[in-house]
């Protein structure tokens, strides 16, 4: 089996070899996406349900496109309040869906652990599309894949993740995946948005952005949820931008070839200046494009029965 698990719950504990398999498989699908007809019949007859218990546009569209380009049948289930508000438990909702004979479940939920819970009660393969502040593995995979494409390697790259680390599943998945790939990961953000004992995950923590960004190859900027300000986690948007925003002025002081990434959607002028988001250093749109290829690769690798893929 190319991947150790038939689910993709997170990147915690994933090996470098497994990540390489995913990236090499994504190369193949990236080629498919260049064709006039960007669709292959590989998953004909397989059914994928996209269970989105939390609003999401980008991730859902990206998954749906990936599924359709592999010719899978897709069903979308979106419920922002989760059906628990109707008195139904998650287990009931999901059991109902399973009774419809599903091969793969893509799940987004605001509660950490939901994908793991589903993997225990369902027969289908589960792909985590984001569970609370826990993990968002396909986002981290596409981030790393985009860097691999840009630099031709991942080992020893110096990556800085900037922003609200506490509430970020993107940060956590990237920390796990990137450290497995031998990337040197640093974090920077307000101390109120930095969870405890992060250093045990093998990352360096900064509170001064100007010091943190100096020698970095890549700056991965996280979205700051503006409602965190109302909860008193930082004093004002203005001060956040001054301290932790990737501004034009800050970019000018950096290496000419520094790479800027953002998982989207961007708060322009808050965590990232519009000029920076659109400049040549930004690979934000490549990230979106690679998202489909990575998700096709994950769907492909998890949909095979028992497999012995060597690439």
Partner 1 sequence: MGIYRKKFEFSECPKPYLIKDGKYFDLKTSDFVEADIIIDKGIIKDIGRFNGDSFKGRVLDIVGKVVFPGFMDMHVHFREPGREDKETMASGSFAAAGGGFTSVCPMPNTDPIIDNQEMVKFIIDKGKDLITDIFPVGAISKGLKGKEISEIADMFNAGIIAVSDDGVPENNLGMMQRCMEYTSMFDIPVIVHCEDKHLSNGGVMHEGYYSTKLGLPGISSISEEIAVVRNIMIAEYTGSKVHICHVSTAGSVEIIKNAKERGVKVTCEVTPHHLTLTDKCIETFDPNFKMNPPLRTEKDVETLVNGMKNGIIDTIATDHAPHTIDEKEFEFDRAPFGVTGLETAFGILNEFFINKDILSIGKFVELLIVNPRKILKLDIPEITKNKKANMVIVQLDKEWTVDADNFYSASRNSPFIGTKLTGEIQTVLNKNKVYFR
Partner 2 sequence: MKEHVKSKIMDENDLDRTITRLACEILEKNKGLENIVIIGMRTRGAFLAERIAKKLKDVEKKDVLIGALDITLYRDDFRTVNKQPQVQITDIPFSVDDKNIVLVDDVLYTGRTVRAALDALMDFGRPAGIQLAILVDRGHRELPIKADFIGKNVPTVYGEEIRVHMKETDEDDGVFLVSVS
Q: Which residues bind partner 1 (CB under 8 A)?
A: 12, 84, 89-91, 109, 111-114, 116-117, 131-135, 169, 172, 195-198, 200-201
Q: Which stretch binds partner 2 (CB under 8 A): 83-91, 117-125, 140-148, 296-304?
A: 296-304
> CB of residue 110 vs partner 1: minimum separation in angstroms?
8
Rg (CA), the chain: 19
| Distance separating alpha carbons of residues 236 and 213, to the nearest angstrom | 22
Task: Tell me which of partner 2, partner 1, none is bound by residue 46, counting a contact when its beta carbon lies within the kind-specific cut-off of 5 to 8 angstroms.
Answer: partner 2
| Distance separating alpha carbons of residues 301 and 25, to the nearest angstrom | 8
Question: Taking CA 15 as the corner, what is the angle to CA 11 and CA 18, rounded to the nearest 5 degrees?
Answer: 90
DSSP state of 124: S
> CB of residue 32 vs partner 2: minimum separation in angstroms?
7
Residue from 121, 226, 285, 309 that binds partner 2 (CB under 8 A)?
309
Q: What Å distances lie between residue 307 and 69, 208, 229, 296, 302, CA to CA? A: 21, 47, 48, 17, 9
> CB of residue 12 vs partner 1: minimum separation in angstroms?
7
Q: Which stretch binds partner 2 (CB under 8 A): 58-66, 189-197, 283-291, 299-307?
A: 299-307
Residues 31-60 that bind partner 2 (CB under 8 A): 31-32, 35-37, 39-46
Q: Which of these, 44, 54, 110, 111, lies nearest to 77 by C-alpha position?
A: 54
Residues 247-262 as b/e (b if ≥16 CB within 10 A, e otherwise) read beebbeebeeebbbbb
For residue 108, the SS3 value is strand
Site track 59-98 with partner 2 (rule: CB under 8 A), x = hit: -----------x----------------------------
For residue 36, the SS3 value is coil
> CB of residue 89 vs partner 1: minimum separation in angstroms?
6
Task: Tell me which of partner 1, partner 2, none is bound by residue 308, counting a contact when its beta carbon lies within the kind-specific cut-off of 5 to 8 angstroms.
Answer: partner 2
Return the beta strands (E) in 91-170 as ranges: 104-109, 125-131, 158-162
Pair 2, 21: CB distance under 8 Å: yes
- Residue closer to partner 1 by CB (options 195, 264) is 195
Q: Which of these, 48, 52, 85, lies nearest to 69 by C-alpha position?
A: 48
Task: Tell me which of partner 2, partner 1, none is bound by residue 309, counting a contact when its beta carbon lies within the kind-specific cut-off of 5 to 8 angstroms.
Answer: partner 2
> CB of residue 23 vs partner 2: minimum separation in angstroms?
12
Task: Tell me which of partner 2, partner 1, none is bound by residue 226, counting a contact when its beta carbon lies within the kind-specific cut-off of 5 to 8 angstroms.
Answer: none
Task: Tell me which of partner 2, partner 1, none is bound by residue 32, counting a contact when its beta carbon lies within the kind-specific cut-off of 5 to 8 angstroms.
Answer: partner 2
Chain residues in the site for partner 2 (CB under 8 A): 2, 25, 27-28, 31-32, 35-37, 39-46, 70, 300-301, 304-311
């Amino acid at each position: 089996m190319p991947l150790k698990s038939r689910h993709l719950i997170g990147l915690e504990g994933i090996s470098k070899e497994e990540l390489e398999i995913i990236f090499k498989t994504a190369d193949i699908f990236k080629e498919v996406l260049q064709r006039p007809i960007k669709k292959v019949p590989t998953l004909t007859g397989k059914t994928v349900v996209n269970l989105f218990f939390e609003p999401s546009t980008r991730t859902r569209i990206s998954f749906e496109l990936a599924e359709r380009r592999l010719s899978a049948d897709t069903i979308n289930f979106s419920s922002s309040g989760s059906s628990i508000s109707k008195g139904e438990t998650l287990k009931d909702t999901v059991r109902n869906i399973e009774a419809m004979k599903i091969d793969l479940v893509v799940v987004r939920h605001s509660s950490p652990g939901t994908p793991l819970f589903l993997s225990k009660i369902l027969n289908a393969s589960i792909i985590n599309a984001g569970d609370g502040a826990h993990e968002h593995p396909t986002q981290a995979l596409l981030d790393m894949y985009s860097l691999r494409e840009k630099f031709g390697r991942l080992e020893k790259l110096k990556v800085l993740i900037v922003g609200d680390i506490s509430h970020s599943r993107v940060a956590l998945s990237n920390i796990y995946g990137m450290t497995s790939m031998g990337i040197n990961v640093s974090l920077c953000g307000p101390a109120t948005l930095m969870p405890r004992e992060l250093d045990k995950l093998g990352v360096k923590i900064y509170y001064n952005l100007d010091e943190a960004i100096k020698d970095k190859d890549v700056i991965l900027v996280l979205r700051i949820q503006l409602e965190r300000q109302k909860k008193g986690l930082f004093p004002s948007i203005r001060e956040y931008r001054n301290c932790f925003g990737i501004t034009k002025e800050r970019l000018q002081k950096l290496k000419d070839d520094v790479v800027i990434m953002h998982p989207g959607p961007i708060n322009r002028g808050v965590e990232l200046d519009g000029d920076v988001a659109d400049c040549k250093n930004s690979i934000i749109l490549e990230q979106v494009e690679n998202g489909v290829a990575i998700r096709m690769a994950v769907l492909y690798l998890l949909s095979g029965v028992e497999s012995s893929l060597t690439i």
